[in-house]
Structure 1
Amino acid sequence: MHISTDQSLLDIPLIHDFLSQHTAWAKGIPLAIVERSLTHSLCFGGYLGSQQIAFARVISDYATYAYLMDVFVLPDYRGQDHSKQLVSAIMAHPDLQGLRRFMLASSDARGLYEKFGFKAPAKPETLMEINRPGMYQKKLADRHGRCR
């Protein structure tokens, strides 16, 4: 697999389809929000030939902090070490070196990320969040008049 941060190579319809249809965290996300999120992120595409099969993005100030998110490998290509290659490329990226904190959230791939040094927060009691699960499904239902 070839990994690139060239945003012109990204298959945006594929990324949108996968995130909006096949993830719990972005179910129903509108295309415009995906496009805006890509513009403001360091994106990593994984390719076999010219076909995109994997994706991840990092939000960062490139000095002290980064957040890894929206990581996926298409189902037909899983179990072939593509996710390890993708995370390895992210962790080796020159703009992401020397950060004080690199975070992510994962419910099903913790073993993968642990291989790269990620672990549970040392002081989880210091972390806070605003979490709005299902927000894209609600917005979609509102637009169609099914939810009041």
Structure 2
Amino acid sequence: MPQSLPLEFDCDPARLDRDMIYHYLSQQSYWAAGLPRDIFERSLAGSLCFGAYVDGQQVAFARMITDQATFAYLADVFVLPLWRGQGVSKALMAFIMAYPGLQNLRRMMLATADAHGLYAQYGFGALSSPERMMEKLDQQVYQRLAAATDSRAQQG
């Protein structure tokens, strides 16, 4: 990372560039394509959100869904394309893993299609007992919601 551009991190929800985050998640990410704005806003409200900033401009984001006592789930981690390859994701992960409310948790989880190497550096690995884990996954929920919204708009 260039020395002349100091990277800052915080969890201040007022500082988040919500429009940028929403645009990235709903239009550029593989995991949240089509994310409705109201669901996005609820997801932020129910999470511990982390922003990374260079000269006051947000360049990365992540959120933890957590009780800050026993469990946390890392989600929606991204670095804007212009800032990739400069150590931002590693610095963000180091900040998250050192965050006081996330210490001494029994379990942290995440899902990723392509960043296993990054997360392994911070202690994440394959499920210890996959036979005990279950999920209810609805990969088409955002598309169904959008279609229902479009249908209501056409009728009204």
TM > 0.5 between the two? yes
Provide the residue aligned with 1:33 in structure 2. 39
Q: After superposition, give the CA deviation of every residue in 1:95-136 in whole Å (9 maximum; x if it has no partner).
A: 000000000001110100000000001111110001111321
- Establish whether residue 16 from structure 1 lines up as the match of residue 22 from structure 2: yes
Instruction: Give 5+ residue unaligned stretches, structure 2.
Output: 1-6
Q: Is the 8 A contact 1:16 1:34 kept in 2?
A: yes
Cα offset, 1:66, TM superposition: 0.5
Equivalent residues in 2 for 1:26-105, closer than 5 Å: 26-105=32-111
Question: Amino acid of the residue matched to residue 89 of structure 2?
Answer: S
State percent identity of aligned pairs. Answer: 51
Instruction: Give 5+ residue unaligned stretches, structure 1.
Output: none
TM-score, structure 1 normalization: 0.95
Q: After superposition, give the CA deviation of every residue in 1:17-44 in whole Å (9 maximum; x if it has no partner).
A: 0000011211111111111111111100
Q: Is the 8 A contact 1:55 1:71 kept in 2?
A: yes
- Tell me the distance in 1 between the aligned counterparts of 2:16 and 2:57: 10
Q: After superposition, give the CA deviation of every residue in 1:51-77 in whole Å (9 maximum; x if it has no partner).
A: 111000001111110000000001111
The aligned length equals 146
- Tell me the distance in 2 between the aligned counterparts of 1:130 and 1:24: 19
- Establish whether residue 4 from structure 1 lines up as the match of residue 6 from structure 2: no
TM-score, structure 2 normalization: 0.90
- Runs of 4 or more consecutive aligned structure 1 residues displaced over 6 Å after TM superposition: none
Q: Is the 8 A contact 1:27 1:134 kept in 2?
A: no
Q: Is the 8 A contact 1:57 1:69 kept in 2?
A: yes
Provide the residue aligned with 1:106 in structure 2. 112
Q: Is the 8 A contact 1:25 1:134 kept in 2?
A: no
23-32 or 95-104: bigger deviation = 23-32
Cα offset, 1:143, TM superposition: 2.0
